[in-house]
Structure 1
């Protein structure tokens, strides 16, 4: 089961983050070291049967890598998906952003207990929002109460068919996205509850720039992408295309899963900003999450902070850390990661706590398909 939300509001029903259930470490079984991915391939084929144009996936167990695809990468030509496909990863961006902020904390340049007001005076104000009461930790674990700009109805309408065709190449500044959120009342008082808000991570990206004097994109490139050699990973800014090799991305551009299918590959990802604009591929995502969970990117104290979770209000068996989801699968295997959705693209990336068994995959359609079934199949064989 996935928590369904979207960078495009109610328009595209895309998986933004995976569900999670925390269990004591001693009780969590180890993922089986198996080379048979038959169930995973079957789950991918089932997603295509359900209407997803195509799926690309990469799993890594120790030194062994398995890659597979199903379905089409281009509905016009019938070309298949590629194991090397680049794709938009949506809210998986959040883990990268959180990692940078935690690195800055480890360097003594900020504290998770700092208020938003300290770094962005006057930015989070209006209709009951008050950055003086919201900490950086509140941003990262979605307990700030800040309204999500993607839930704004006028914003969502710009991404239905007519609105998307008119606005797909518009550039939106982070300050504009935050201003949309500030036009609404908060969801709750800071720390009083939990609600997934893309505005939290737009603000977090702005904090990175305030602290470092560099864009969040530059900090991600210098601190994560280059050191790990993530050659397929990028922060595109306003670039509307996806690097090759890549498949086309498809959406319904409606609040229903019926009707015509549209090619939505090209768009200006500034509408997602630091909440979800990044591009990557499955191999890079596996490398990133494995490095993160094995302490190659954060000191033990900050990794512990990232893995300190809170319940996701109203969603059974879900817990959320600092840009990191926490889930126990039906067979008891315990995995960490994040999911992401944006027009025409639904992605998931998870790994076991020891970083040995990782899985990342992408659907190039945003209206159907069971991403949880693929994860269950890989780790539980069903």
Structure 2
């Protein structure tokens, strides 16, 4: 999920920060000199105070894997170049891809109402599922309240009460009901507002249409065809697969702003809005295949890339689970990349690729209180 509290960036357990150390050094002769600026930007993230960062670039020359900083603050071990991590809202692109595939198969129309598939689910406090389309939940123009802003949810997830609830299981139905306790943000189609509830509803629609959990459909339609060995929808699984590093962050509602280790947690509170686990290599393969036309017919890919403004404060434009981002390169040259960002419990991520899918970057920071991924994207794509 993405953004501050609304993005569910939460954290757990202790440890003093260790001195950062770069875990990747460019080696002339292996093509790494082409990524010196990118490596410098990764090191810069660590210099800002993030424990560690892992990344991969994939282009016509092959794959370049890098890391910087620390993966485990207590042990002082370096960040791994091939770590798995929680991708947060990057999950949304996977979910949107499945729904667009279902549309291509004639099993659903994106202009169907939510009420057609989930009657009575999106109701209350001005919400009306019969007035909201599937397309509007995918491009965040539905006006549905974000459950992660609900007071009860915030208390259990963003305050120190999290320690009591880190292994709780949340059902999609529970999460949507939390959202319905809050007033609609705007009339459907009359604004743009990031809401994790939209993609919980999307996951519920996938199950209604197919009879299968959204994660099972992602596995069958995306993970298996692309051979994404590190990608899973974990459901209620609290532990991380290996290899992986520890994830650190600060609870937004903790007045002491301590740093905690939140590596283990039940990710069901993120559901189909942000629970997927993957690694940089898999994310690059996914976005490269998606933008390269291997997962969707031309018509559906064009619909996915039909964007609306996210507002001046956020920048970029939002399609159907896909962000169009124009990088502010020096001079008059601009570079446009497509992908998504995501944050979840001590895990901050960015995965982007060029429009033809030929040049991709994916990275993860194992800390959520500092660090900016944009300079890494600019270093990798600007001037190339």
User: What is the match of residue 287 of structure 1?
Assistant: 285
SS of the residue corresponding to residue 374 of structure 2 reads helix
User: What is the match of residue 318 of structure 2?
Assistant: 320
The 8 Å contact of residues 310 and 316 in structure 2, kept in 1 or not, is answered as yes
Which of 162, 165, 168 does residue 167 from structure 1 map onto?
165
User: What is the match of residue 354 of structure 2?
Assistant: 352
The 8 Å contact of residues 11 and 255 in structure 1, kept in 2 or not, is answered as no
- After superposition, what is the alpha-carbon deviation per residue over 1:95-144, rounded to whole angstroms, capped at 9, x for unaligned? 00000000000000000100000100100001110000000000000000
Alpha-carbon shift at residue 11 of structure 1 (Å): 6.0
SS of the residue corresponding to residue 73 of structure 1 reads strand
Alpha-carbon shift at residue 374 of structure 1 (Å): 1.2
1:88 has 2:90 as partner:
no
Q: Structure 2: how far apart are the matches of 1:111 and 1:11?
A: 33
User: What is the match of residue 22 of structure 2?
Assistant: none
Q: Where does the alignment leave 5 or more consecutive residues of structure 2 unmatched?
A: 12-30
The 8 Å contact of residues 257 and 367 in structure 1, kept in 2 or not, is answered as no
Summarize the Cα distance change of 1:321–1:144 in structure 2 as closer, same or farther, 3 Å threshold: same
User: What is the match of residue 123 of structure 1?
Assistant: 121
User: What is the match of residue 306 of structure 2?
Assistant: 308
Which of 342, 345, 358 does residue 343 from structure 1 map onto?
345
TM, length-normalised to structure 1: 0.91
Residues 10-29 of structure 1 mapped to structure 2, 5 A cutoff: 12=10
Summarize the Cα distance change of 1:381–1:156 in structure 2 as closer, same or farther, 3 Å threshold: farther
TM, length-normalised to structure 2: 0.90
Alpha-carbon shift at residue 316 of structure 1 (Å): 5.6
Deviates more, 1:96-105 or 1:329-338: 329-338
Which of 201, 218, 221 does residue 220 from structure 1 map onto?
218
User: What is the match of residue 270 of structure 1?
Assistant: 268
Q: Structure 2: how far apart are the matches of 1:9 and 1:309?
A: 21
Alpha-carbon shift at residue 279 of structure 1 (Å): 0.2
User: What is the match of residue 147 of structure 1?
Assistant: 145
The 8 Å contact of residues 11 and 159 in structure 1, kept in 2 or not, is answered as no
SS of the residue corresponding to residue 37 of structure 1 reads helix
Query: Which one has more relative contact order, counting CA pairs under 8 Å at least 6 apart?
Result: 1
SS of the residue corresponding to residue 196 of structure 1 reads coil
Which of 376, 379, 382 does residue 377 from structure 1 map onto?
379
Alpha-carbon shift at residue 6 of structure 1 (Å): 4.3
Q: Structure 2: how far apart are the matches of 1:335 and 1:257?
A: 38
The 8 Å contact of residues 7 and 272 in structure 1, kept in 2 or not, is answered as no
Alpha-carbon shift at residue 258 of structure 1 (Å): 7.4
The 8 Å contact of residues 2 and 341 in structure 2, kept in 1 or not, is answered as no
The 8 Å contact of residues 46 and 69 in structure 2, kept in 1 or not, is answered as yes
Root mean square deviation of aligned Cα: 2.0
Deviates more, 1:54-63 or 1:3-12: 3-12
The 8 Å contact of residues 2 and 89 in structure 2, kept in 1 or not, is answered as no
Structure 1's consecutive aligned runs of 4 or more residues displaced over 4 angstroms after TM superposition are: 6-13, 255-258
Alpha-carbon shift at residue 175 of structure 1 (Å): 0.3
Alpha-carbon shift at residue 34 of structure 1 (Å): 9.2
SS of the residue corresponding to residue 72 of structure 1 reads strand
Summarize the Cα distance change of 1:71–1:51 in structure 2 as closer, same or farther, 3 Å threshold: same
User: What is the match of residue 20 of structure 1?
Assistant: none
1:157 has 2:155 as partner:
yes
Aligned length: 361
User: What is the match of residue 109 of structure 1?
Assistant: 107
- After superposition, what is the alpha-carbon deviation per residue over 1:11-65, rounded to whole angstroms, capped at 9, x for unaligned? 649xxxxxxxxxxxxxxxxxxx995111111111111111100000000112411
Alpha-carbon shift at residue 313 of structure 1 (Å): 3.0
User: What is the match of residue 25 of structure 1?
Assistant: none
Q: Structure 2: how far apart are the matches of 1:258 and 1:246?
A: 28
